[in-house]
Structure 1
Amino acid sequence: MTKKVSIIMGIYNCEKTLTESIDSIINQSYDNWELIMCDDGSTDRTYEIALKYAEKDNRIKLIKNKKNIGLAKTLNNCLEISTGDYIMRHDGDDIMVKDRIEKQVGYMNTHNCDACGSGAYLFDETGIWGLLQPSAIPDRKCMVTGAPFIHPTVIMKKDKLNQVRGYSVNELTRQRLEDYDLWIKFFERNYILHNIQEPLIYYREDRNSYNRRKKKFRIAETRARLYACKRLNIPYLQRILALKPLIAMIVPNMIMRYYHRKKARKKGIAN
């Protein structure tokens, strides 16, 4: 019997991209899934678009928050009504590779891990411009400068996610760092984390998005990294690297552009 996958998706004002995102799920090579979408107070046609899909496909469930409450609580609302063995993340502006679910379920079934991510093609309105690939077996030290996963690529064992009580709702997660807080909890419990070494989603990101990160977010990101260092007992000397977001605030844009493009190493992959 194939394992059932619950895909949880918080949706908010994504009317321009939601159709393509949902279609990429419906067209998967693996069909034992349910899609649970929770609208977080959208003011455009996002809810109406999602409702049309839910009315046509009984694998698709749609719920709605009375007001905007943020992604962490929205994802927990999805988690509460999920019935799958595995929980998979996806966003309303990203696109799955056709065999993403099949490959990740197969990997989870045959490897000793509690959560599994993958690489991601980076794309914008002009096409694919880069590729991100997290390390195959990340350890807690990665939290000093980054994260073990690209959040919307992750599939997790539901029982493990329930053990840490899903996504935390606190000051950290309200700063768009709900996934970072979750990875801290995973490492604290010594969960085994892997990444498939190939891209399984198209991750929508403007190639100049780093220029628009506000000072407030960079400060919050630095605080989150120092907080993770403390909780995960990272050696003090290594904690200096957690200050990278603050350094980025004073580095000239030209240098940041070079670093950003190098990090998202371009492969010249055609659509």
Structure 2
Amino acid sequence: MNLTFLGLGVMGYPMAGHLAKHHDVTVYNRTASKAEAWVAEHGGAMASTPEQAAQGADIVFACVGNDDDLRGVTTGAGGAFHGMKDGALFVDHTTVSAAVTRELYDAARAKGLNFVDAPISGGQAGAENGQLSIMCGGDQDAYARAEPVMNIYAKLCRRIGESGAGQTTKMCNQIAIAGLVQGLSEALHFAQKAGLDGEAVVEVISQGAAGSWQMQNRYKTMLADHYDHGFAVDWMRKDLGIVLENANAIGASLPVTALVDQFYKDVQKMGGGRWDTSSLLKRLRD
């Protein structure tokens, strides 16, 4: 297939790299030097605008920053929707609001295009190792076209429902993570205050009902007070803002999520906006 990938950040760069092993890929990135580096490493081609990158593509993938970034690379001046051929498919891996997803789904359909929302979970390591979890929304036939290609970098890919269902499922993911990370932080903080060996504690409790991905993958760096890696606090607050806005709209009560969002605000005030989300422990220590 002829594929396009828009956005070569910490997630998009390796995801596009996996695709390049199997298909012809053209890339676009707002900072052109990243696109140049990607082409030097993986081959393929680069374009100066999303519209140019999307010309002739069977599927256009995107992994950008937020709602406005996504609008910019799709319907904005020089956006991909202006260059995509009739019947082509747009797959959005960005974590954005369900509202902008449905807006762009309608805009795509009006142009004879297809649109699948496909936010991802698994972090930078998951993207690099091709082990992402992908939650999708959109028309069944469009999803069926995208799934075998997404499986190149996924360990699990599922269609949850109609347009916006993928983004809403990603909100559930972030709600669960927020509570898990705060709970793990409090457990490690308590262990330290009680004079226990944190590693020994986790070795035991991780094998029982308390075990989680966060515990397995983050406890060592948390105990070492090391947070210069992983999913940034700034990004998590962006995601939780989307969650809380949607919760208010549908009448869902999320008291723990709202509280943890404020804890992340404290971490930002500490200068930790780019720290990993596990830095909630540092807030307790300091």
Does TM, normalized by the shorter one, top 0.5? no
TM-score band, normalised by the shorter chain? 0.3 to 0.5
Greater per-residue helix proportion:
2
Q: TM-score normalized by structure 2? A: 0.35
Q: TM-score normalized by structure 1? A: 0.36
